[in-house]
Chains A and B, each alone.
Chain A
């Protein structure tokens, strides 16, 4: 399914980033980081007045030859980025949306943990497990 899943803090530093181990991790970091440009563009495009009603799912941020990068922004401006292999055509918009929803739920659980300090990198095993499940090949 996903080849890279990242959670990025409001200040744009990574809270969590994980990619398929077989591929170059650095490349995904660059891809995710660059996608923040588009995320910011999309958020600001919505405008302030509509900010409370805006949809959290930002859709396809940008495609590259090999990957499709999807974005999602929580109300607290924490960004989720999912990178999907372009050759993986079975994933439609709805599946991506549900992945983000799952990610958001799990992230909310992490934030609810009283021992988690907001702004720290996410170390939660439960969150990690959920991400792993999303990264497993769909076939």
Chain B
């Protein structure tokens, strides 16, 4: 798996590997040259003359370099290093060092003479070619330089075949391009330039071709070598050298990116091997890197190539640090070439961390502190190197890249300082000095590059380790630089951390003044962000610092916070607590004042409970507050006094009514629970102040409705605690959140104000409960403002209490109420009413009495056992006292028992409201003076209207000069109705008594008497003698028969009375009370009786449906009309006979009968006893069966009186009027015509006269008789009607 990873890394970097045998070469020359090797053979002097321009011209134009493996083509400038051809220069087989490799061999000649050519040049060339062939080098070129000057000298040349052709012929078999001509190279002619250009192109092409070919071969070889890495003899160092050669070549060609890739690959390969080693897969060659570290002189970045280290690697003697240092110095060089200095810093930090890890992983033995030296030096070296290649502004803009190195160097220097005893107050011990010497030895001598520099890392370290003072100077310099940089880039947390370690340093040096500021800054940050462990840690350091500085107040405050810190163990907490307590118990000096500390550190308020819970009490009442406090101290603390100041405000309407429905609960904060408990919000203990910085939003819904139609205009959310949320955060460092023990100089403890006070309280760790008694001396509202606990000289103060806690004290006027015990008071029976006296501020003294004006209609029934209950303002039962009640004629005086203020006195009295005897028709109301005014309201009470009586009582109270009027409403439980019943001449009176109340009653002795007893009438009771039970909503009917001897009086005044008693399961049976009902009967006697007979059609025994039957109505006068009646009844005298006119009417509303022909008429009755008038009519039964008789009505027919306005109309008008009166219930208009036509026929006496009269009296009146004046015999009678005869076909369909 590791192998796969390894391959992945390599393939990612996309490069091929060249394996070559490790050649020994002179690197320095090669690196200086930075060019491709080209050898020159032939005419050296010729070459020398051309060399300058050649070396200049060759790199001028770039060539496109096409590469294998799909890598992108690049434009490169080729530069060549021309050396004289020697056979030794040609690489032997298997020794193909790339750097010294001659990529091209050039033979120079300016021979233009064939003879010369044949004689010497050709031979020379031949030799040269042979050597090349021997070394299988195919990259060669022959350059023939032609010059006119030379040609002129040699005139015998053959123009036909030039030397060039000969050479081509001799050497270039098929490669004619291997021979080029350079014409007049030293002349400035166009021909010469052309020739140069083509020559250079050829040269570049061939050079690049050769380079590419040889590079490819090199890479292939390198890959082969790399693949052998699992073989036992493989050495990383050897491979390193091979791949680095490739990197060098790229670097020479200015291909820094490619060069860097080579080093990165090597880096990755090495890292992987180290990791594999850590995983147990060790390679042999790694052994050499595991040698103990002997030298820790840091990175060296000032040289392009650190040859010393390179040689060590080459020899396989390099340590891990050497290899890493060398690798990084090369990477650094290339990155700086690439203008990426910031990558250097990042990589440097990574490298340093990595090296430390790798040494640990490989278990390399290192002198303690050696690595610190190495890291320190390396950090500074990198920083120096970066500073060397960047200007100041660039450096400042990129602090974020360098600050890591600065901090790392600071840390390392610090640990070196601790290691070498340079931080200790007493300076280093001899042991420390020995260690220092060892460390310095490992640094070796300073490198020549920096010997002359004043500020080299080497010098710095040596100086820093040399003395305590120098160390301090360097350490502070570095630390401050790091802090400044962190500040500049806004990394405040990192800056604070460095600052805190500076503070630790100062503390070690015994300089708490300078430490304080750093600690304070850090502490503030940690508190603000709520990191409790850091807070505790820093606070402990702070406490130490403050103690040294003798800042007593601050130290005590910090101690208080630490004593309550859950992150510390009990021992530490107790220590800090004891610090406070021992200070507190010291006797105060003359100038010493008490020390005020924040309560928050000492104790947390948990909840406050009012007793009584309403937190509204009357003046002078006892109100207790139970405060629950969580004491944060680790041990029990005795608090001399715990006091809460109260703010008193005279509330408007302080003397408000008894706290009833409008009662507000003042002690309710947002967390109020309605039972008088105020809960204090608790910050979560872990996040501490982090939470308290941002109180929770208290949001409320708000709706704006238009006043006209209450439609929603807008809706929104309102934040109620804006003042808390929008408060500046830094102004928050008040008593609430003590950060660094910063407290206002003196907490104003207002002595004059009223206080809740508890003395000598011992607060145990954890929850405590403290009871306060609240002052309630004056009416108004009291708000808790400040809480202060005093422990000796120390005061713990909480400057405000949130949520707001307040209670109210009120004063109240005395008040009397009277209310019924049951839902409704019933008239007529004794009812209990409850008197309630709220005494308010008045105290009832002995002898105080209520004076009730007596009324006849409502007497007060008092018994001896009457007693009053006294209740306290909270409703507690305080006791029973006897009441003494004295009644005189006019007043009832109730002596009240002495009752303290703000108590309630309750007692019950029985009252009886008499039922007024008369039928309650008029509105009435009874006043106290006995005058009665009745009012009947129809209230829907149990389906029937109950008559009620409002009874007012006037009471004189001892606390007031005015009388109190109190109204009580009584309901009459019964409703009575009377009816007169007749049977012929006999008369009966029926009284119906309905129980309209909800209770049940027993009724007894119904009696009906005449109010003005006349001997003539006797009332005979037909009722049962027993008691009758009348349940709610039931009725009782009573009946009496009237008997009389002579005449009936025209008017009969009666009084009904019945005894009743309510039935109740609880109370013993009470005495019967009497209910009276008065009524008057007028016109009692029967004047007429109406008889009717229905005769079947002639021949038939029974009536049949559809057949006309005869209806004979006979009206008989029963009695003489009395005097009074006579006045009413209009009688006329016709032919000496006194008659009365009556109108009759036959109506059948049940549609059993059809009245045929005339249905009504007017008759004149003679004023004589037993005078009878008979009328014949025809009716037709419509149904078969026993049919009731049709209804016969009789009215008084009154002609118009003289006073009446004479109607201008005549007959028709009257008749029409008649019709409209009579025709109700008749079937059709046709019949009415017959009524009119026959009217005169049936009327007794002269119809003509009647007509005359009617004419003269155009508006006659009809008046009904009083009930009982007309007795109808046929009422309730039935007649049998048979179905019609069988000539009717009944169709029966059977399906």
Q: List residues of A whose CB falls within 8 A of some B CB.
A: 11-14, 25-26, 29-30, 33-34, 36-38, 40-41, 62-65, 86-87, 89, 119-121
Binary interface encoding of chain B residues 773-793 relative to chain A, with 1 for a CB under 8 A from any of its CBs, else 0? 000000000000000000000
Beta-carbon contacts under 8 Å, B674-732 to A: 684, 686-687, 690-691, 693-694
Q: Is B361 an interface residue (CB 8 A)?
A: yes
B958 within 8 A of A: no
CA–CA, A30 and B489, complex, Å: 19
Closest partner residue, chain B, to A121 (CB atom): B686
A122 CA / B358 CA spacing, docked (Å): 38
Q: Given that A26-B533, A65-B353, A89-B275 are known contacts, is A37 also in contact with B686, CB under 8 Å in the complex? A: no
Say whether B531 contacts A86, CB under 8 Å: no
Knowing A12-B529, A13-B529, A30-B497, say if A63 contacts B687 (CB, 8 Å).
no
Is B353 a contact of A33 with CB atoms below 8 Å?
no
Are A29 and B404 in contact (CB-based, < 8 A)? no
Which residues of chain B have C-beta atoms less than 8 A from A12's C-beta? 529-530
Q: Are A41 and B404 in contact (CB under 8 A)?
A: no
A11 touching B690, Cβ below 8 Å:
yes
Please give, as numbers and ranges, the residues of chain B lying within 8 Å of A33 by CB-CB distance. Answer: 493, 497, 526, 529, 531, 534
Contacting pair B531 A41 (CB below 8 A): no
B492 within 8 A of A: yes
Given A11-B694, A37-B494, A87-B360, verify A30-B687 contact (CB < 8 Å): no
Are B491 and A41 touching (Cβ within 8 A)? Answer: yes
B1172 close to A (CB within 8 Å): no
A31 to chain B, nearest CB (A): 9
- Cα A120 to Cα B690 in complex, Å, equals 11
Inter-chain CA distance A13–B526, complex, in Å, is 9
Question: Which residues from chain A contact B400 at a C-beta distance below 8 Å?
Answer: 41
CB contacts (< 8 Å) of B493 on chain A: these are: 33-34, 36-37
B residues whose Cβ falls under 8 Å from a Cβ of A: 275, 278, 349-350, 352-353, 356-357, 360-361, 400, 404, 408, 486, 489-494, 497, 526, 529-531, 533-534, 537, 684, 686-687, 690-691, 693-694
Could you tell me if A62 and B533 are in contact, using CB atoms closer than 8 angstroms?
A: no
Q: Is the CB–CB distance between A11 and B529 below 8 Å?
A: yes
Q: Are the C-beta atoms of A65 and B534 separated by less than 8 Å?
A: no
Residues of B within 8 A of A37 (CB): 486, 490-494
Q: Is there an interface contact between B360 and A13, defined as CB atoms closer than 8 Å?
A: no
**A30-B529 contact, Cβ under 8 Å, with A63-B349, A87-B357:** no
Rounded to whole angstroms, the CA-CA distance of A125 and B514 in the bound complex is 45
Tell me whether B356 and A30 are in contact (CB under 8 A).
no
CB pairs A–B below 8 angstroms (26 shown): A11-B690, A11-B693, A12-B530, A13-B691, A29-B531, A29-B533, A30-B534, A33-B493, A36-B493, A37-B486, A37-B490, A37-B491, A37-B494, A38-B491, A40-B490, A41-B400, A63-B349, A63-B353, A64-B353, A65-B353, A87-B357, A87-B360, A87-B361, A89-B278, A121-B684, A121-B686
List the B residue with the shortest CB-CB distance to A62: B404
Question: What are the residues of chain A within 8 A of B686 when measuring CB–CB?
Answer: 14, 121
CB contacts (< 8 Å) of A62 on chain B: these are 404
List A contacts of B534 (CB < 8 A): 26, 29-30, 33
Among B352, B353, B537, B687, the residue within 8 A (CB) of A13 is B687
Q: How far is the CA of A121 from the CA of B684 in the complex (A)?
A: 8
Chain A residues in 8 Å Cβ range of B350: 63
B491 to A119, Cβ gap below 8 A? Answer: no
The CB with the most chain B CB atoms within 10 A, among A29, A64, A65, A89, is that of: A65
- On chain B, the residues within 8 Å of A120 by CB distance are 684
Distance A14 CA – B532 CA, assembled complex (angstroms): 9
Question: Which of A13, A25, A36, A87 contacts B530, CB < 8 Å?
Answer: A13
Main secondary structure of the interface of A (DSSP, over half): mixed
Chain A residues closer than 8 Å to B694, beta-carbon distance: 11
Q: Whole-angstrom distance between the alpha carbons of A120 and B349 in the complex?
A: 38
Closest B residue by C-beta to A89: B275
Please give, as numbers and ranges, the residues of chain B lying within 8 Å of A25 by CB-CB distance.
533
Chain B positions within 8 Å of A41 at CB level: 400, 489-491
CB neighbours (8 Å) of B486 from chain A are: 37
- Residues on A with C-beta less than 8 A from B684 are 120-121
Contacts of A89 in B (CB 8 A): 275, 278
Point out the residues of chain A lying under 8 angstroms from B526, CB to CB. Answer: 33
**Chain A positions within 8 Å of B491 at CB level:** 37-38, 41
**Complex CA distance for A86 and B275, rounded to whole angstroms:** 12
Q: Kindly state the separation between the CA atoms of A120 and B683 in the bound complex, as whole angstroms.
A: 10
Residue in A13, A65, A121 whose CB lies within 8 Å of B356? A65
Q: Which of A13, A64, A121 contacts B531 (CB 8 A)?
A: A13
The chain A residue sitting closest to B346, CB to CB, is A63
With A11-B529, A13-B687, A87-B278 given, name 16 new contacts (CB 8 A).
A12-B529, A13-B690, A14-B530, A26-B533, A29-B531, A33-B497, A33-B526, A33-B531, A33-B534, A37-B486, A37-B490, A63-B353, A64-B353, A65-B356, A86-B353, A87-B360
Leading 4 A-B pairs by shortest Cβ distance: A13-B530, A13-B690, A37-B491, A12-B529
A114 smallest CB distance to B (angstroms): 18
Who on chain B is nearest to A117 by CB? B684
Chain A positions within 8 Å of B529 at CB level: 11-13, 33
Which of these, B361, B494, B537, contacts A34 with CB under 8 Å? B494
- In whole angstroms, what is the CA distance A33 to B497 when docked? 10
Q: B531 near A14 (CB under 8 angstroms)? A: yes
A65–B356 Cα distance when bound, in Å, is 7
A62 to chain B, nearest CB (A): 7
Are A26 and B690 also in contact (CB < 8 A) when A41-B490, A65-B356, A87-B361 are? no
Residues of B within 8 Å of A87, CB to CB, are: 278, 357, 360-361
Q: How far is the CA of A40 from the CA of B361 in the complex (A)?
A: 33
Question: Could you say which residues of chain A place their CB within 8 Å of the CB of B360?
Answer: 87
A38 to B694, CA, bound (A): 24
Return the chain B residue nearest A44 by Cβ: B490
Q: How far is the CA of A26 from the CA of B489 in the complex (A)?
A: 26
| Chain B residues positioned under 8 Å from A14 (CB to CB) | 530-531, 686-687
Known: A29-B531, A29-B534, A33-B531. Is A121-B687 also a contact (CB below 8 A)?
Answer: yes
Complexed CA–CA distance, A63 and B345 (Å): 13
Chain A residue nearest to B352 (CB atoms) is A65
Cα(A36)–Cα(B357), bound, Å:
25
CA of A77 to CA of B395 in the docked complex: distance in angstroms? 32
Question: Which residues of A lie under 8 Å from residue B494 when comparing CB positions?
Answer: 34, 37
Complex alpha-carbon distance, A132 and B1274, angstroms: 109
Which B residues are in CB contact (< 8 Å) with A65? 352-353, 356-357, 408
Chain A residues within 8 Å of B278, by CB:
87, 89
CA distance A13 to B534 in the complex (A): 12
Q: Which residue of the partner chain B has the closest CB to A63?
A: B353
A residues less than 8 Å from B361 (CB atoms): 87
- A74 vs chain B, min Cβ distance (A): 18
B404 partner residues in chain A, CB cutoff 8 A: 62
Nearest A residue to B498 via CB reads: A34
Minimum CB distance partner of A35 in chain B: B493
A119 contacts across to B, CB distance below 8 A: 691
Residues in B neighbouring A29, C-beta threshold 8 A: 531, 533-534
Q: Which residues of A contact B408 (CB under 8 A)?
A: 65
Q: How many angstroms from the CA of A26 to the CA of B537 in the assembled complex?
A: 8
Q: How far is the CA of A87 from the CA of B359 in the complex (A)?
A: 11
Who on chain A is nearest to B530 by CB?
A: A13
The CA of A25 and the CA of B532, in the complex, are separated in Å by 12
Measured between alpha carbons, how far is A32 from B627 in the docked complex, in Å? 40
Complex CA gap A121/B275 in Å reads 39
Chain A, Cβ-Cβ closest to B275: A89
Separation of A108 and B694 alpha carbons in the complex (Å): 24
Cβ of A123 to closest chain B Cβ, rounded Å:
10
Chain B residues near A36 (CB-CB < 8 A) = 493
A122 to B: closest C-beta gap in Å: 10
Q: How far is the CA of A34 from the CA of B278 in the complex (A)?
A: 30
Closest Cβ of chain B: how far from A89's Cβ, in Å? 5
Q: Which residue of A lies closest to B495 (CB)?
A: A37
Bound-state Cα–Cα, A86 to B357, Å = 7
Complex Cα–Cα for A41 and B486 (A): 12
A40 to B1134, CA, bound (A): 130
